[in-house]
Chains A and B, each alone.
Chain A
Amino acid sequence: MEILVCIKRVPDSAENEIVVDDGGRDIRRDDLTYSVNEWDNYAVEEAIAIAEREGGNVTVVSVGSSEAEEVVRREMAMGAGQGLLLQDDAFDNSDGRGIASILKAAVTKGSYDLVLTGAQADDGAAQVGGMLAAMLDWPYASLVNKVEVSDGKTLRIGREIEGGAQEINEIQTPCVLSVQTGINEPRYVGIRGIRKVASVEIPVLDAAALGIQAGSVGPSGARVSRVDYFVPATGKGAELIEGTTKEIAAKLVHLLKAKGGLK
């Protein structure tokens, strides 16, 4: 099975304090530490596991600046066989639809049976997977937490339903799945994997190579544009629990019971 996994380089929330920039439309990115989007990492693990089980190849692809190459290489060190970087100044500041259309161009240049994305990324829009499927006119399932290959063309996939319920669906390949965290336990990157990919040239495709009109993506092609970005003021109704850790835990349990969160 030929699998393509779409990945994104995002600020690492474990290492960064996020601060809104002076322009008020984005966060300050200069001082940040970056890593691969957590959801995407689960998707890559799932793809590698499927390829190990069923045979096939895994390619990871990212739309981004030259710095995005580091996460492509990282996921290759994890076990993806190929990497692809989609990079062009025209791609900068694309909206979700723009990103999906760039990815669509990459998908159609290959011959993939399955495309995986993370369920969402740092901006939380959770839109690229669905849009990509629509553009390709492929079946799509979101929030996938289980994938089994029934036969060459059919997958049985599990989906997380609100309230903790679970459903199982059958879906025909080629298809797009957006993957939820918790579907697996992503492997760590080992030194052997890093050595293997340290000097590998990662192909870079620009707008021309992908057959994309520069004006159809980026800010000019965007149909959604962010106009403001801020940390909301603390509202009423929030209660700050103070005390020692034990006291805080005890009060929290008491409150959860009182409000019906715990029975």
Chain B
Amino acid sequence: MAQILADRRDIDFVLHEQLGVESLAKDERFADFNRKAIDLIVSEARNLAMKEILPTQVDGDRIGARFEAGKVTVPESYHKAWKALRDGEWMAMNEDPEVGGQGMPRVVANAASEYLMAAGVAFLMHSGLTHGAGKLIETFGNDKQKKLFLKKLYSGQWAGTMLLTEPDAGSDVGALTTTATPNGDGTYSIVGNKIFISGGEHDMTENIIHPVLARIEGAPAGTGGISLFLVPKIWVNDDGSLGEPNDIVCTGIEEKMGIHGNATCALSLGSKGKCRGTLLGEANKGMSAMFLMMNDARLMVGNQGMTLASAAYMYALNYARTRIQGRSLLKMRDKNAPAIPIIQHPDVRRMLLTMKVYVEALRSLSYYIAYCNDRVALAADPEEKDRFQGLIDFLIPITKGFGTERSFDVCSTAMQVYGGYGYIRDYPVEQLLRDVRISAIYEGTNGIQALDLLGRKLGQNGGKPIRDLFEEIHATLTAARGVDRTAPLAEKMEPLVLRLEEVARHMGVTAMYGDLLNAAAHAHPFMMACGEVVTGWMALWRAQIAAEALGKGAKDKDAAFYEGQIKSAEFFAQTLLPVAMGHLEAILSGSTTANDILEDSFGGK
């Protein structure tokens, strides 16, 4: 079979037909990135992904990261792939060239990353976290920290991580106990234990830079007393040369369900009292600084889900087209009727179409958020900047929370399409299903995402972000009403959107003035309902563009693609929308049962 990691036609559709990203090149900042450059970038990301990163996928899973005597080794293919990423300068694609980036629009970097990530998500986490650590230093670092660390991270000469979680401080980061004591020379002594540190130790780079959350002695309890420190694995001297190893010991790595190729480390800092770090940003402002990285990390995790779901869909689709099994239902009694490809069986088509709708919508959502980031970067008008930033803020928990749940569903459905073969290791979807599962958990569980949406984002700036989002959705409804083939779909979509508006008000009022616990019990269904409406929005937006393109006359290959877009929107409107509407009704019912039930009544006693 042809090896397809992602659907290039669909990527091009989102980039050029849905978002028109070429227009970003009109601004001097993105002038290098015309259509030819964008096409080349996506093609070369695919080329690199296929040849260098794809081998890391199976190696990472079967060989995995290995721990021995405090050292972690990664498979040989990782070293080659890392070098290729570095040589091509793929680590900090969207950052300013002045500080070692490539100045690319974020939405184009998103497309390139989709291929790279689909080829080896466990491997690519290393570069994502390295980029994120660099971004923290670029934003909050002093001149010396930038000089010593920034280009080395953005170039991938060194790797980066983030150290938040502790054994008793997971979702409740404010409970952390790692301490920082001033040494009097501008450095701090760091003491504590961190767990679940992705890529916390490995042999791909000569140094690893850890941004660490810790509490300076005497600082207030809770998140308001947390500071951020830069703690290198090997101390970096003032002239940039490497000094003595810092007092950081990897005490073990976790045996996980998936992403075996990324070591999940337990790190002991300062067990000999000699772990040094420097303050990054202001004291006691560590949490808000870390949120910069966390927000990007949450987007990255949403993208991980989307890319793995997309790859799983591609595999399942190819399998369904080539796997011959069973006769047509209409010829069941004819023993001589030929067996047919399973894509012709109605239930398989139902599964494939469900996967198609979500994969396409999640891709559009992912690229749309990246595009909003570019609009923020280019906006001269503060109001426009705020509007796009608000949209990003509101959509982050949706792409992370809703997106990763649906991505898992898609990977699971892909396995179902394969039948028994899907459950065995010889076929790729078994690994994809295991690898994608973590995306619903890390960088803030999806329960935390739901609380973020309800508690922070819904009321942010007086509720402006969600109002702006509804405005965008209504603009799509209006455009779709103006096209014959999508007008009836817009009519079906509108009541769902209006109902969500009502539910959003209900949730806001319940959280603020009614019953906070009851609102919290409905936070996850609310996040999922928002995600369903966004899915419908994206499907309709795509269908409207496709219907217009068909109206202008499209070539055979394009015509099938565009018809597929309209079918996705139809399937959503006719099949998935009523279910979403049901979920909205359930939220409005205000059921208090989840909070009312006695703990003993859960059973098991």
Interface residues of A (CB under 8 A from B): 14-17, 30-31, 33, 35, 70, 73-74, 77, 187-192, 194-195, 198-199, 244-245
State the Cβ distance, A33 to closest chain B Cβ, in Å: 7
Judge if B4 is at the interface, Cβ distance under 8 Å: yes
Interface residues of B (CB under 8 A from A): 1-4, 8, 32-34, 36-37, 39-41, 43-44, 47-48, 50-52, 84, 87-90, 93, 102-104, 426, 555-557
Closest to A41 in B: B47
Evaluate contact between B32 and A199: CB separation under 8 angstroms: yes
Which residues on A sit within 8 Å (CB–CB) of B557? Answer: 30-31
Which residues on A sit within 8 Å (CB–CB) of B36? Answer: 70, 73, 198-199
Which residues on A sit within 8 Å (CB–CB) of B556? Answer: 30
Which residues on B sit within 8 Å (CB–CB) of A194? Answer: 37, 40-41, 44
Which residues on A sit within 8 Å (CB–CB) of B84? Answer: 188
Task: Please pick, from B1, B50, B51, B88, the residue contacting A190 in the complex, using a CB distance under 8 A.
Answer: B88
Evaluate contact between A17 and B88: CB separation under 8 angstroms: no
Complex CA gap A44/B261 in Å reads: 34
Task: Please pick, from A16, A35, A191, the residue contacting B2 in the complex, using a CB distance under 8 A.
Answer: A16
Q: Is the interface of A mostly helix, strand, loop or mixed?
A: loop
Q: A190-B89, A195-B102, A198-B32 are in contact. Are A244 and B426 (CB under 8 A)?
A: yes
Evaluate contact between A188 and B47: CB separation under 8 angstroms: yes
Which residues on B sit within 8 Å (CB–CB) of A74? Answer: 40, 43-44
Evaluate contact between A189 and B40: CB separation under 8 angstroms: yes
Which residues on B sit within 8 Å (CB–CB) of A70? Answer: 36, 39-40
Of all A-B residue pairs in the complex, the 10 with the closest CB atoms, nearest first, are: A190-B88, A198-B37, A195-B32, A191-B102, A189-B44, A194-B40, A31-B557, A191-B89, A188-B88, A190-B89
Evaluate contact between A35 and B47: CB separation under 8 angstroms: yes
State the Cβ distance, A88 to closest chain B Cβ, in Å: 22
Evaluate contact between B43 and A35: CB separation under 8 angstroms: yes
State the Cβ distance, A69 to closest chain B Cβ, in Å: 8
A and B contact pairs by CB, cutoff 8 A, 11 listed: A70-B36, A70-B39, A74-B40, A189-B40, A189-B47, A190-B87, A190-B88, A191-B89, A194-B40, A195-B37, A198-B34
Complex CA gap A194/B39 in Å reads: 10
State the Cβ distance, A40 to closest chain B Cβ, in Å: 14
Complex CA gap A248/B47 in Å reads: 30
Evaluate contact between B37 and A187: CB separation under 8 angstroms: no
Evaluate contact between A198 and B33: CB separation under 8 angstroms: yes
Which residues on B sit within 8 Å (CB–CB) of A188? Answer: 44, 47-48, 51-52, 84, 87-88
Closest to B31 in A: A199
Q: A188-B87, A190-B87, A191-B90 are in contact. Are A73 and B40 (CB under 8 A)?
A: yes
Evaluate contact between B88 and A33: CB separation under 8 angstroms: no
State the Cβ distance, B61 to closest chain A Cβ, in Å: 15
Closest to A200 in B: B36
Known: A14-B3, A70-B39, A189-B88. 6 other contacts (CB 8 A): A30-B556, A70-B36, A188-B44, A188-B51, A188-B88, A191-B93
Closest to B321 in A: A17
Closest to A78 in B: B44
Which residues on B sit within 8 Å (CB–CB) of A192? Answer: 89, 102
Complex CA gap A199/B37 in Å reads: 8
Complex CA gap A189/B47 in Å reads: 9
Which residues on B sit within 8 Å (CB–CB) of A191? Answer: 41, 88-90, 93, 102, 104
State the Cβ distance, B559 to closest chain A Cβ, in Å: 11
Closest to B86 in A: A190
Complex CA gap A199/B426 in Å reads: 45
Which residues on A sit within 8 Å (CB–CB) of B4? Answer: 15
Complex CA gap A50/B33 in Å reads: 30
Complex CA gap A74/B52 in Å reads: 18
Complex CA gap A249/B497 in Å reads: 56
Most chain-A CB neighbours within 10 Å: which of B32, B34, B426? B32
Complex CA gap A77/B90 in Å reads: 15
Which residues on B sit within 8 Å (CB–CB) of A189? Answer: 40, 44, 47, 88
Evaluate contact between A187 and B47: CB separation under 8 angstroms: no
Closest to B39 in A: A70
Evaluate contact between A77 and B40: CB separation under 8 angstroms: yes
